[in-house]
Amino acid sequence: MIPYGWIQATKGIIVSDVPIEFPLRWAREAGAIALRSFNHAVAQRKPDHTWVTEADVTIERLLVSRITEHFPTHGIIGEEQTRRTIDHEFLWAIDPLDGTAIFLAGLPTWGVSIGLLRHGQPYLGVIYLPLLNDCYWSVPGSGAFWNAQLIHVAAPRPCTSDDWISTPSTAHRRYTIDFIGKTRSIGATIGAFCYTARGSAIGALINTFAIWDVAAGLAILQAAGGVAAELSGTPFDVRTILDGSTFTTPVLLGAPEYLAVLHKNIHLRTPAL
């Protein structure tokens, strides 16, 4: 049922140190586990008040085992507690199920996020949305892909009412947004990255994330020609959250020209609700 097109598309790509086929296959394995419990999942609260399901834990265990088997010296950091030699040259940052809240709500755009950082910078990424069977991935120097198709962020031009940006589900409380186009909140940080990287959304606003939410997305976004910057305009430096801490300052994603537009049109609401 799941087409292999996007794995075949990798055949011509030479990656010496970390073959992209590995995380692509792991993502698909992980997605199959998540799909089995979609619409049946039982959730528990974590100390940070967010939700965890058995699928999150099972998938993180699977991914850690696959990474350890193939890359025993690499570091790993995962949403569900994994912390292994995170000061290594290569650090895998994994979110077994990004969008657990929408997974529980029965919405579709949750997925598996597998990012690899090298010397503290996004290096390659795989994001798989199992229900849609959509895979977004990137390889250093070879660009970003949506399934077997090369993708790029939206080419800059004046915004119209047809353009849309991805916003967080708390945007109504935190921001005033004077954007001529549409705002859509589809439910997970990976969605913000994927739909921006493929040029469907012209950009995105994200907030409250950890390294495992953004490592794969940043690699894909950058390979698709996009950048990430704080809402204030300061470049976003992923190294500040390599320790697993939460970044609460709002961050914009997109082509640099669109970031300038969004920077002018999105403001923190004072006071936030």
Rule CB under 8 A: which residues touch a second copy? 1, 101-102, 105-109, 131-132, 162, 164, 167, 169-173, 176-180, 182-187, 195, 198, 200-201, 273
Decide: helix, strand or coil at residue 21. helix
Pick the closer one to a second copy by CB: 70 or 267. Answer: 267
Spatial separation of the C-alpha atoms in residues 43 and 211, rounded to whole Å: 23
Distance of CA 217 to the CA centre of its chain: 4
Q: How far is the CB of 24 from a second copy (least distance, A)?
A: 20
Q: How far is the CB of 244 from a second copy (least distance, A)?
A: 23
Q: How far is the CB of 199 from a second copy (least distance, A)?
A: 10
Pick the closer one to a second copy by CB: 22 or 175. Answer: 175
Pick the closer one to a second copy by CB: 53 or 82. Answer: 53
Pick the closer one to a second copy by CB: 14 or 105. Answer: 105
Query: Residue 84: exposed, middle, or buried by beta-carbon count in 10 A (0-12, 13-18, 19+)?
Result: middle
Distances (CA, A) of 9 to 6, 21, 150, 183, 225: 5, 10, 10, 33, 20
Q: How far is the CB of 225 from a second copy (least distance, A)?
A: 18
Pick the closer one to a second copy by CB: 29 or 134. Answer: 134
Q: How far is the CB of 134 from a second copy (least distance, A)?
A: 8
If you search the block for the tokens 């697993």, which residue do you land on?
A: 244
Spatial separation of the C-alpha atoms in residues 50 and 260, rounded to whole Å: 32
Spatial separation of the C-alpha atoms in residues 28 and 22, rounded to whole Å: 10
